Chains A and B, each alone.
Chain A
């Protein structure tokens, strides 16, 4: 931690008193403010879609997540916010076991999706990922046609037997992702030829083509311009009618705009979780307040 803070200190000789003060204040804050023994706010809901208790993640000997417990309700948009390296992406990747692909990564705790233990050794991870889809930070369409991108999931899971059914799934998914009108005349053009925002919506269409119950989004707008971002945010609001969504974001405005509840992570701990409005207007914990008022980040 010491070194991380030292790196952040201005190295050029420009002595900006205000900035210095802010940095000193932040250092004091992170060192002096104790973590709450228990997450403050209301991390749990009745009858949740995903019930996550005492989640701990280790990278080899490094503990990245310390005992995080929270619920994600049905058809709810939950946003995970916090400074870089606070473990929010790592936490998100536990929810569909994408961390399995990292050899040195170990996950502990109780993670349940509607009563199904996610880390049950008998559970096939392929089945889980069909139920919990994921959209990534950088748009990553396959170097295939737009149609094949969307049809890939249904194809590998055998969701459509006839060409007609597949066409329907592709069209519906693209419509839901708000991309249909823009691409209906060039379904067989390459997916990589689209603009960044269109690519990300294509990735969302690809994810929802499998009809997942939960969609995880890992900073889906960080590589997009404001207009494309606005479109995706609009889309997230629409999708929340039929899907449960967990979104990691660096933009507090985005969290405020799209999510029902917000979780604030700090150095691998869940500090506070509450209704989005409450978190942004009346944060209970000092660290949360410091973060949302921009005193560090």
Chain B
């Protein structure tokens, strides 16, 4: 055995140990990341899953024309001013005949959500022949009743329902007059003061319009800026200065962009507050550096041999860029854009500044309607005193996460799909 082999053997053991240490360190790091993720998901899903369901109670409802004060259900005005709470009160009184006294009656009436009345109105509009008839219907419960029914025995002690209310609900539950159904209103309504009627559709639409505006503005502008800087701009102090500033812009706290939007876009240009258009413009400013930086990296990654081949054939600069560089760089650009969009989707601070934090019940129909977005909706609900909003906020977080996961998956799939080898 030569001297060298001997020396090499001695160091080998040390090298292997170092390798093992490094491996263990890597696995540990990934483990910590995964644990954080699992923790986050279990916490949010544990808190939020109940918001996807709601409790209803069964009551025989009589569409009494006199109580409702509706003589012709085809008349929209009359229909809208009908006293639906009245028929529900009557039905409750009939179900619990022993309840007497003003206070108790009021407590009893609180069991049913105010939203149930609207459901009755819609039913009557659908089928005017219901007037005067009696139907056994499932009615949406108030959020406190809902929470009570969802809670375990032990948690029920902390319920906001008083003793009598608890007794009535327990009676209904025991006789099978309660049921749990999928919470459709969560995905079909905007925000509401009543948790059982609050939905995230308004926020989803607001986010959608904001994202559309952001994408339409930031992708073409970002890609064009990146192409110009990489392919056409002369390399001098001025372009260096621009590059430094773009990198700086990527690190500016997002709330600054919100202030800029408030001062310039709303203040100077006079665009309305709280609308997705302004939100989109502000988020565009925030997303642009991300898109420009990733697009430039994608352009840089296009092999120079391809450029030379095209130029050697007599392609003009523009043709080289459009025919060769852009198609090859597009997957990277799209990935950057989607990651930028995902960032923008989760952004709250700049939107607070431009008034997208308002309480908005109506669903926005376009980018010029006042709206809020998912992360702001989560912030609003997390800030609300009613306990039921906590579950709603978690449910909204789950929806937001689902969107983010979808977008990031899309980024990976697009990259894999469009990637071409050379």
Q: How far is the CA of A79 from the CA of B324 in the complex (A)?
A: 31
**B314 with A203: CB separation less than 8 A:** no
**B421 with A134: CB separation less than 8 A:** no
Q: How far is the CA of A156 from the CA of B305 in the complex (A)?
A: 19
**B328 with A140: CB separation less than 8 A:** no
Provided the pairs A103-B235, A192-B421 are in contact, do residues A140 and B306 lie with their beta carbons within 8 angstroms? yes
Q: How far is the CA of A187 from the CA of B314 in the complex (A)?
A: 23
Q: Which residues of A contact B234 (CB under 8 A)?
A: 103
Chain A CB within 8 A of B151 CB: no
Q: How far is the CA of A153 from the CA of B422 in the complex (A)?
A: 19
Chain B CB within 8 A of A276 CB: no
Q: Mark A136-159, 1 if CB is under 8 A from B, else 0.
A: 101011110000000011001100
Q: How far is the CA of A129 from the CA of B314 in the complex (A)?
A: 5
Q: Which residues of B contact A152 (CB under 8 A)?
A: 310, 313, 315, 323
Q: How far is the CA of A232 from the CA of B234 in the complex (A)?
A: 39
Chain B CB within 8 A of A57 CB: no
Chain B CB within 8 A of A14 CB: no
Q: Which residues of B contact A207 (CB under 8 A)?
A: 312-313
Contact of A143 among B235, B311, B422 (CB under 8 A): B422
**B314 with A210: CB separation less than 8 A:** yes
Q: How far is the CA of A13 from the CA of B303 in the complex (A)?
A: 40
**A156 with B309: CB separation less than 8 A:** no
**A157 with B314: CB separation less than 8 A:** yes
Q: How far is the CA of A96 from the CA of B308 in the complex (A)?
A: 12
**A156 with B422: CB separation less than 8 A:** no
**B312 with A138: CB separation less than 8 A:** no
Q: Mark A176-210, 1 if CB is under 8 A from B, else 0.
A: 00000000000000001000000000010011001
Chain B CB within 8 A of A98 CB: yes
Q: Mark B269-293, 1 if CB is under 8 A from A, else 0.
A: 0000000000000000000000000
Chain A CB within 8 A of B319 CB: yes
**B312 with A156: CB separation less than 8 A:** no
**B309 with A133: CB separation less than 8 A:** no
Provided the pairs A136-B305, A136-B308, A192-B421 are in contact, do residues A143 and B313 lie with their beta carbons within 8 angstroms? no
**A134 with B420: CB separation less than 8 A:** no
Separation in Å of the A35 CB from the closest CB of chain B?
Answer: 31
Chain B CB within 8 A of A22 CB: no
Chain B CB within 8 A of A130 CB: yes
Q: Which residues of B contact A136 (CB under 8 A)?
A: 305, 308-309, 312
Q: Is the interface of B mostly helix, strand, loop or mixed?
A: helix
Q: How far is the CA of A195 from the CA of B309 in the complex (A)?
A: 18
Q: Which residue of A lies closest to B236 (CB)?
A: A103
Within A86-103, which residues are at the interface with B (CB < 8 Å)? 96, 98, 101, 103
Separation in Å of the A244 CB from the closest CB of chain B?
Answer: 16
Contact of B314 among A140, A141, A142, A153 (CB under 8 A): A153
Q: Which residue of B lies closest to A125 (CB)?
A: B314
Chain A CB within 8 A of B192 CB: no
Chain A CB within 8 A of B134 CB: no
Provided the pairs A101-B311, A103-B235 are in contact, do residues A156 and B421 lie with their beta carbons within 8 angstroms? no
Q: Which residues of B contact A134 (CB under 8 A)?
A: 308, 312
Which among A101, A103, A130, A192 has the highest number of chain B CB atoms within 10 Å? A101
**B314 with A126: CB separation less than 8 A:** yes
Q: How far is the CA of A127 from the CA of B316 in the complex (A)?
A: 10
Contact of A129 among B303, B311, B323 (CB under 8 A): B311
Q: Which residues of A contact B311 (CB under 8 A)?
A: 98, 101, 129
Contact of B313 among A103, A138, A206 (CB under 8 A): A206
Q: Mark B320-341, 1 if CB is under 8 A from A, else 0.
A: 0001100010000000000000
Q: Which residues of A contact B323 (CB under 8 A)?
A: 152, 156
Q: Which residues of B contact A103 (CB under 8 A)?
A: 234-235
**B308 with A140: CB separation less than 8 A:** yes
Q: How far is the CA of A203 from the CA of B310 in the complex (A)?
A: 11
Q: Which residue of B lies closest to A209 (CB)?
A: B313
Q: How far is the CA of A142 from the CA of B324 in the complex (A)?
A: 8
Provided the pairs A138-B305, A143-B421, A156-B319 are in contact, do residues A96 and B312 lie with their beta carbons within 8 angstroms? yes
**A142 with B306: CB separation less than 8 A:** yes
Q: Which residues of A contact B310 (CB under 8 A)?
A: 142, 152
Q: Which residue of B lies closest to A128 (CB)?
A: B314
Q: Which residues of B contact A140 (CB under 8 A)?
A: 303, 305-306, 308-309, 422
Q: Mark B397-422, 1 if CB is under 8 A from A, else 0.
A: 00000000000000000000000111
Q: Which residues of B contact A156 (CB under 8 A)?
A: 313-316, 319, 323
Q: Which residue of A lies closest to B312 (CB)?
A: A134
Q: Mark A205-227, 1 if CB is under 8 A from B, else 0.
A: 01100100000000000000000
Separation in Å of the B32 CB from the closest CB of chain A?
Answer: 40
Q: Which residues of B contact A101 (CB under 8 A)?
A: 307-308, 311
Contact of A130 among B303, B314, B420 (CB under 8 A): B314
Q: How far is the CA of A253 from the CA of B306 in the complex (A)?
A: 30
Separation in Å of the A130 CB from the closest CB of chain B?
Answer: 4
**B306 with A210: CB separation less than 8 A:** no
Q: Which residue of B lies closest to A96 (CB)?
A: B312
Q: How far is the CA of A127 from the CA of B303 in the complex (A)?
A: 24
25 A-B pairs within 8 Å (CB atoms) are namely A101-B307, A101-B308, A103-B234, A103-B235, A126-B314, A126-B315, A127-B314, A129-B313, A129-B314, A135-B312, A136-B308, A138-B305, A140-B303, A140-B305, A140-B308, A142-B309, A142-B324, A143-B306, A143-B328, A152-B310, A156-B315, A192-B422, A203-B309, A207-B312, A207-B313
Report which A residues bind B (CB closer than 8 A): 96, 98, 101, 103, 126-130, 133-136, 138, 140-143, 152-153, 156-157, 192, 203, 206-207, 210
Report which B residues bind A (CB closer than 8 A): 234-235, 303, 305-316, 319, 323-324, 328, 420-422
Q: A103-B235, A192-B421 are in contact. List 13 more A-B contacts (CB 8 A).
A: A96-B312, A101-B311, A128-B314, A129-B314, A136-B308, A140-B422, A153-B314, A156-B313, A156-B314, A156-B316, A156-B323, A192-B422, A206-B309
What are the 3 A-B residue pairs with the smallest beta carbon separation, nearest first? Answer: A129-B314, A140-B305, A134-B312
